[in-house]
Amino acid sequence: MQRTTLSLEDEVLALLRKYAAARAITLGQAVGDLVRRGLDASHGVRETGGLYVVNLPAASPLVRSADVKRLDADEP
């Protein structure tokens, strides 16, 4: 096993400590678990007809053409 140094925000470190304590594992094991979970997670993106489409949860708000046009008009 290799040793390394990580710079973490205080809030992230506190969350990691909580995660590790709840599972009775070391901080290093907690980081490893969470990194593996993040890397293995499905990103919810698929390619359709040459375009990348994001799979959103069913409860996500609809994005209508008017919303896109409004946002596009805000761009320089």
Sign of CA dihedral 54, 58, 63, 64: positive
pLDDT of residue 76: 63
DSSP string, the chain: ---------HHHHHHHHHHHHHHT--HHHHHHHHHHHHHHS---EEEETTEEEE---TTSPP--HHHHHHHHHH--
- pTM here is 0.56
pLDDT tens by residue, 30-57: 999 999 988 877 768 888 999 988 888 7
Q: For residues 57 and 25, what is the distance between their CA atoms, to the nearest angstrom?
A: 32
